[in-house]
Amino acid sequence: MHYVMIGNSIASTACIEAIRSIDRKGSITVIGEEDHPCYSRPLISYLLQGKTDENRMKYRTAAFYEENKVTVLQGTRATSIDREGKTVCLDGETTLSYDKLLLATGSSPFVPPIKGLGEVKNWFTFLTLDEAKRLQTHLKKESRVLILGAGLIGLKCAEGILDKVQSVSVVDLAPRVLMSVLDEASSIQVRDHLQEQGLRFYLGDSIQECTANEALLQSGIVIGFDLLVIAVGVKPNIQLASEAGLAVNRGILVDQGGRTGDPDIFAAGDCSEGPEMISGQRAVLALLPNAYLQGETAGKNMAGDEAGFDKAVAMNALSLMGLHLITVGRYEGESHVIPCKDGYKRLFVKDNHLVGCILVGEASKRAGIYTAMIRNKVELDSLDFDLICEEPLLMAFAKNVRQQQLGGPV
């Protein structure tokens, strides 16, 4: 049995581990377009800050691949898939045969059409290690940096470079920061914190045109810059799958087992679009924990086991200049905003289940409990919900337990 994985990623690493838990003899080949070992992308901003280095960013050591007898082809691009012949074409030349194939092709930065972008000498994206290192070589104390995008990637970039440059300005068409993951109140709290650290925001605005060192915004404001970072979002890498005739939407369509429409081809990670546990609808959930669990599930099925991942849920956990925030699930149903001394907490309840939460600052310390309640679909009428809202560590005091302790009816 020959297992082939396109993409040297978190998902493919999990797939390797799952396969080897079942099949110790089959051969495994990983094709990685980047000329680096698998690394943790969320650590890119910490690399720029000097809080980590490339060696510590590696997701697994070289010994991991040796022990699991994995052949890794770094700096190699898969250009096409022949499903009938069960081969993958590499760099348009050689072919590699497979019995089971995993597509873990990840995502690419989206670069919108901007008039005059070609005149900008130093512009960057912020999704890969190579781009982060390229940006790092241009950072100077006198640099004025303009970031297009006030989402997760853009703000993590700002965090990574703020103390290394003269100024950082952030432009976003959305009226608030982290528009896709925060509500208005929490977004304001995060924006105020970041402004206190020195970031400048131009929200509800966009770049109309660029010259070599200036950006004209739709509002008429002109911002001078030395470096431009484009961080407006990502797009799943689905071209290989689409050209091979597999079903795609925004991502590669898969079931709970990571299966595509071809019984010998699976997909996992940022490129895949599978069932989301709360809505039951397919969604692209480009999150590291989901990528790992999707890869693990696919690996088990590729090796002949039967596995399903039915707890995929939207989740974001990050720290921005000392402020921690975590969001989980969906923002629908009945809303509960719980007053917090140093932070923000909002819970969402639907059909007797906790389905989502927004936690900022001190409130984020109990995120694991709320996440477990959402993933495990805990029936809220079995708990003292008011107590859970205030202090989730006391969730052990379910109603029936408390009634027993007080001598009341069970």
Q: What is the pLDDT along the chain (410 residues), one digit of tens a residue?
A: 999 999 999 999 999 999 999 999 999 999 999 999 999 998 999 999 989 999 999 999 989 999 999 999 999 999 999 999 999 999 978 999 999 999 999 999 999 999 999 999 999 999 999 999 999 999 999 999 999 999 999 999 999 999 999 999 999 999 999 999 999 999 999 999 999 999 999 999 999 999 999 999 999 999 999 999 999 999 999 999 999 999 999 999 999 999 999 999 999 999 999 999 888 889 999 888 899 999 999 999 999 999 999 888 999 999 999 999 999 999 999 999 998 888 999 999 999 999 999 999 988 887 888 998 899 898 988 777 777 777 665 554 444 444 443 344 43
Residues 240 and 224 in one domain: no
The count of domains in the chain is 3
Residues 269 and 356 in one domain: no
Pick the last residue of a domain from 198, 230, 262.
230
pLDDT tens digits along 70-93: 999 999 999 999 999 999 999 978
Residues 101 and 245 in one domain: yes
The CA distances from residue 117 to 112, 133, 200, 212, 300, in Å, are 10, 21, 22, 8, 46
**Structure confidence at residue 332 (pLDDT):** 93
Pick the last residue of a domain from 211, 230, 249.
230
Residues 9 and 48 in one domain: yes
What whole-number distance in Å separates Cα of residue 66 and Cα of residue 306? 27
**317 falls within a domain:** no
Count of Cβ atoms closer than 10 Å to residue 107 Cβ: 18
Residues 374 and 282 in one domain: no
First to last CA, the chain: 56
Q: Which amino acid is at 108?
A: S
Quickly list DSSP for 20-59: HTT-SSSEEEEEESSSS--B-GGGHHHHHHTS--HHHHBS
What whole-number distance in Å separates Cα of residue 199 and Cα of residue 169? 6
**314 falls within a domain:** no
Residue 88's SS3 state is: strand
Residues 198 and 251 in one domain: no
Asked if residues 99 and 2 have their Cβ atoms less than 8 Å apart, the reply is yes
Pick the last residue of a domain from 179, 210, 230.
230
Residues 155 and 187 in one domain: yes
Residues 206 and 121 in one domain: yes
CA angle 240, 180, 379 (to 5 degrees): 100
Residues 187 and 274 in one domain: no
CATH number, domain at 374? 3.30.390.30
Domain containing 185 equals 117-230
**310 falls within a domain:** no
pLDDT tens digits along 301-318: 999 999 999 888 999 999
Nearest to 203 by CA among 189, 214, 219: 219
CATH number, domain at 214? 3.50.50.60
**316 falls within a domain:** no
This prediction has a pTM of 0.90
Which helix (H) or strand (E) is 253 found in, with range? strand 252-253
Residues 212 and 240 in one domain: no
**13 falls within a domain:** yes
What whole-number distance in Å separates Cα of residue 131 and Cα of residue 41? 11
**146 falls within a domain:** yes
**Structure confidence at residue 201 (pLDDT):** 98
Residues 100 and 141 in one domain: no
Residues 13 and 89 in one domain: yes
Max CA distance (Å), the chain: 77
